[in-house]
Amino acid sequence: MAFEDKTLVCVDCGAEFTFSAADQEFHAARGYQEPKRCAPCRQARRAERGGGYGRSRGGERVMHDATCSSCGAPCQVPFEPRLDKPVYCDDCFAKQRASRPRW
């Protein structure tokens, strides 16, 4: 099947963008649908959704104040501390990790 460049309209901003023949071939080979958004709107949507462990909607890592269970120093961790689990500062975490046997 021969592909030709297409002009599509972004569902978010209404701007026209080109869906190139090469992109169409790529999408078809992988079973993807036609894009609904222009590249800037796709990037903005990705950034808006954030993603990944310990990240907020803007992509920034959310840190929580805690007290190290080993040395008692104040520290910040990328998860909500729980009373039933120990929390370690960076130095104590590195020591704990170094003392564990490697499989």
Residue 77: Cβ-neighbour burial (10 angstroms; 0-12, 13-18, 19+): middle
Q: For residue 59, is it left (φ>0), alpha (ψ between -120 and 50) or beta? A: left
- Mean pLDDT for the chain? 86
For the stretch 38-55, pLDDT in tens is: 999 998 888 777 544 445
With a pLDDT cut of 90, the percent of the chain lying above it is 60
> Which ranges in 1-103 belong to alpha helices (H)?
21-30, 39-49, 90-99
Paired strand residues for 8: 17
Query: Does this model's pTM top 0.75?
Result: no
Closest CA to 17 of 47, 48, 40, 1: 40
CB 57 within 8 A of CB 49: yes
